[in-house]
Structure 1
Amino acid sequence: MTEEGEAAISPATRIDRVMTAIRGRIVDRSLMPGSRLPSVRAQSKAMGVSVSTVVEAYERLAAEGVIRSRPGSGFYVSGSAAPLALAEIAPRRERNVDPLWISRQSLEAEGDVLKPGCGWLPASWMFDTGIRRALRTLSRAENAELADYGTPLGHAGLRQILARRLAAHGVDVHTGQVLLTESGTQAIDLVCRLLLEPGDTVLVDDPCYFNFHALLKAHRAKAVGVHYTPSGPDLDAFTTALQLHKPRLYITNSAIHNPTGAVLSPVTAHRLLKLAEEADLLIVEDDIFADFEEAPAPRLSAFDGLSRVIQIGSFSKTLSAAIRCGYIAAREDWIDKLADLKIATSFGGARLAASILALALTDGSYRKHMETVRRRLGEARTTTATRLARLGIEPWLRPGAGMFLWCRLPGETDATELARRCLDDGVVLAPGNAFSLSQTARSFMRFNVAQSADERVFRSLEAALHH
Structure 2
Amino acid sequence: MGEGPRTAAVMDTIRRRIGSRALAPGDRLPSIRGLAASLGVSPSTVVEAYDRLAAEGLVRSRPGSGFYAAGPVPPPGLAEIGPRLDRAVDPFWVSRQSLDADAATPKPGCGWLPAEWMPNAALRRAARGLARADDAVLSYYGGTRGPLALRRLLARGFAGEGLDIGPDRILLTGSGTQAIDLICRFLLRPGDTVLIDDPGYFNFQALLRAHRAEIVGVPYTASGPDPDRFAEVLAAHRPRLYLTNSALHNPTGATLSPAVAHRLLNAAAAHDVTIVEDDIFAEFEPEPSPRLAALDGLARVIRVGSFSKTLSASVRCGYVAAREDWIEALVDLQVATSFGGVSPVAAALVLGALGDGGYRRHLDAVRRRLARARRDAAARLDPLGIRPWLMPRGGFYLWCRLPGGRDAASVARAALRDGVVLAPGDVFSVSRTAGGFMRFNVAQMDDPRVVPVLERALATAGD
Task: Tell whether the structures are fold-level matches, with TM greater than 0.5.
Answer: yes
Secondary structure of residue in 2 paired with 1:173: coil
1:445 aligns with 2:438: yes
Secondary structure of residue in 2 paired with 1:223: strand
Other-structure match for 2:170: 178
Secondary structure of residue in 2 paired with 1:466: helix
Q: Please give the alpha-carbon distance, in whole angstroms, between the structure 2 residues aligned to 1:98 and 1:172.
A: 40
Q: Please give the alpha-carbon distance, in whole angstroms, between the structure 2 residues aligned to 1:181 and 1:291.
A: 19
Tell me how far 1:97 sits from its aligned partner: 2.0
1:124 aligns with 2:116: yes
Other-structure match for 2:458: 465
Q: How many residues align?
A: 374
Tell me how far 1:348 sits from its aligned partner: 2.0
- Aligned 8 A contact 1:181 1:327 in 2: yes
1:358 aligns with 2:374: no
Deviations 1:211-252 (A, max 9, x none): 000110011110100000000000111111111101100000
Other-structure match for 2:191: 199
Residue type at the aligned position of 2:97 = Q
Of residues 174-183 and 137-146 in structure 1, the stretch that sits farther from structure 2 once superposed is 137-146
Other-structure match for 1:412: 405
Normalising to structure 2: TM-score of the pair?
0.80
Residue type at the aligned position of 2:253 = G
1:382 aligns with 2:392: no
Which of 423, 428, 433 does residue 421 from structure 2 map onto?
Answer: 428
Other-structure match for 1:99: 91
Other-structure match for 1:228: 220
Residue type at the aligned position of 1:353 = A
- Aligned 8 A contact 1:112 1:426 in 2: no
Residue type at the aligned position of 2:323 = R
Residue type at the aligned position of 2:434 = A
Secondary structure of residue in 2 paired with 1:97: coil
Tell me how far 1:256 sits from its aligned partner: 0.3
Tell me how far 1:101 sits from its aligned partner: 1.8
Segments ≥4 residues shifted beyond 3 Å? none
Other-structure match for 1:330: 322
Q: Please give the alpha-carbon distance, in whole angstroms, between the structure 2 residues aligned to 1:217 and 1:324.
A: 23
Which of 334, 339, 363 does residue 370 from structure 1 map onto?
Answer: 363
Residue type at the aligned position of 1:432 = G
Which of 152, 157, 164 does residue 165 from structure 1 map onto?
Answer: 157
Which of 143, 146, 169 does residue 151 from structure 1 map onto?
Answer: 143
Secondary structure of residue in 2 paired with 1:288: coil
Tell me how far 1:321 sits from its aligned partner: 0.4
Other-structure match for 1:275: 267
- Aligned 8 A contact 2:93 2:427 in 1: no
Q: Please give the alpha-carbon distance, in whole angstroms, between the structure 1 residues aligned to 2:159 and 2:448.
A: 42
Residue type at the aligned position of 1:289 = F
Other-structure match for 2:205: 213
Normalising to structure 1: TM-score of the pair?
0.79
Q: How does 1:125-140 map to 2 (within 5 A)?
A: 125-140=117-132
Which of 274, 296, 305 does residue 304 from structure 1 map onto?
Answer: 296
Q: Please give the alpha-carbon distance, in whole angstroms, between the structure 2 residues aligned to 1:408 and 1:443.
A: 6
Residue ranges of structure 2 left out of the alignment (5+ in a row)? 1-85
Give the root-mean-square deviation of aligned CA atoms.
0.9
Secondary structure of residue in 1 paired with 2:418: coil
Q: Please give the alpha-carbon distance, in whole angstroms, between the structure 2 residues aligned to 1:169 and 1:198.
A: 36
Deviations 1:166-201 (A, max 9, x none): 111221110000000000000000000111111000
Residue ranges of structure 1 left out of the alignment (5+ in a row)? 1-93
Residue type at the aligned position of 1:412 = G
Identity of aligned residues (%): 62
- Aligned 8 A contact 1:130 1:363 in 2: yes
Which of 251, 258, 270 does residue 250 from structure 2 map onto?
Answer: 258
